[in-house]
Amino acid sequence: MEKNLNLPEPKVSFNTTVFNNMPWVGPSLISLIDICKILKDSHNVNCEIIIVDNFSDDGTFEEIRRIRHLTKDIPIKLSQYKCKRGLGRHLALALSRGSHLVYVDMDVVYNTELVAGLISSYLENSLFSAHALYIAFVPRALALNVGAFQDLNRTEDVEFCARLAKENMVLPLMDPTTFRYYANVSELEKEHGKKHEYANPSSKMFVETYASERRYAISFSGYLKRELNNKIDMIRGLGLNPTKIVRELWFLKKMRGSSFLISAYFHLSFWLITKLTSKEIFEHSKIFSNNVLCDYVMFNNYSGLLSQATRLGLIERDCANNLVNGVFAQERIRNVVKYVRAFGR
């Protein structure tokens, strides 16, 4: 890896892994570079991009090197290592230097203005910047505190988030408009009034295009093998056991009849395969899956942060209530909260 000693220390490190992503890797990397340039030029935030390539053999690695060669003002560190996504994410952390980590995917083209606006708003607000926003934006100290990503190819992000959740230092993703509630309430009310609702807490709101994972299927047998390994990793990363599987399908997802039986059989089969192959299942709650744990803790933390902001006079109580109600209006969050309160100890 080449190092330019004239470049300043980065505040933000975009960490990612990649494997056989042609032709999406070029547009994806260019969108990340554009985000870095906006942050540098408009917000004086220096960035770097860290990429761990899983020995791509379709020209992905060469395309990244070509774009890196043409981009001298943004540090792009590129390395190769045989690994799944989880270990690749952790290796990227080890190679990075930023005080805040942004985890991205290279089969995605990002909305540059929106992502840059979110990052700058996040960094400028001390109430938020000490917390992780899911695993999209994570203070380096927090990432080091909870430990490495597990070597999973699926749900490695949920498993990592569950460890952040146990430390009560994780919040859901939000949009830049939400941040502005804390910067200038009167300005925001002119724009949105009292009706502004919390944005969907998903990285998809920052995405322009997304490439399906079916591109990895070289042959039908290869596809089946990859899907089997992915399903096993899903069981491990979500921390599932038979009780959680059955109870969450019935009480949380409200499945009934043949749909319930088919889905339960499907998940229980992969749980059994996982146990028979002696793979470790990463349970961070004896009662709930890691996914449910993350959603519930993030909602509680967000509600608590809004209460703190209200006490400090940063936002009006009505605005805080609108934001909380906007989250609770989402069916998934509403069901998770009811489910946890019903079965929690």
Please check whether residue 125 is in contact with residue 182, taking contact to mean a CB–CB distance below 8 angstroms. Answer: yes
Burial of 244 (0-12, 13-18, 19+ CB in 10 A): buried
Q: Place 6 in a pLDDT band, splitting at 50, 70 and 90.
A: low
Residue 219, classified by CB atoms within 10 Å of its CB into exposed (0-12), middle (13-18) or buried (19+), is: exposed
Residue 182 pLDDT more than 70?
Answer: no
User: What's residue 216's pLDDT?
Assistant: 58
Whether 322 has a pLDDT exceeding 90, the answer reads no
Query: In this predicted model, which residue has the larger pLDDT, 193 or 155?
Result: 155
How many CB atoms neighbour CB 4 within 10 A? 9
Contacts of 274 (CB under 8 A, 6+ apart): 232, 235, 236, 281
| Domain presence at residue 283 | no
Q: What is the DSSP string of 252-287?
A: IS---HHHHHHHHHHHHHHHHHHHHTTPPP--S-SS
| Sign for the pseudo-dihedral over CA of 154, 158, 159, 161 | positive
pLDDT at res. 178: 55
> Which distant-in-sequence residues (6+ apart) come within 8 Å of 3 by Cβ?
75
* pLDDT over 70 at 330, yes or no: yes
pLDDT of residue 103: 92
Helix (H, G, I), strand (E, B) or coil at 101: strand
- Checking if the pLDDT of 221 tops 80, the result is no
Q: What is the pLDDT of residue 33?
A: 96
Question: What tens digit of pLDDT does each residue of 198-218 get?
Answer: 333 344 444 555 455 555 556
pLDDT of residue 162 exceeding 70, the answer is yes
* Residue 250 binned pLDDT confidence (cut-offs 50, 70, 90): very high
Q: What is the mean pLDDT of residues 122-145?
A: 86
Q: Is the pTM of this model over 0.85?
A: no
Q: Is residue 28 one of the residues assigned to a domain?
A: yes
User: What's the CATH number where 134 sits?
Assistant: 3.90.550.10
Tokens of 69: 């060669």
CA distances (Å), origin 123, targets 119, 131, 197, 233: 6, 10, 22, 33
CB 107 within 8 A of CB 204: no
Other CB atoms within 10 A of residue 73 CB: 10
Strands 170-171 and 108-110: unpaired
The Cβ of residue 109 has, within 10 Å, a number of other Cβ atoms equal to 19
Residue with tokens 């609108």: 322
Structural domain of 58: 12-210
The count of structural domains within the chain is: 1
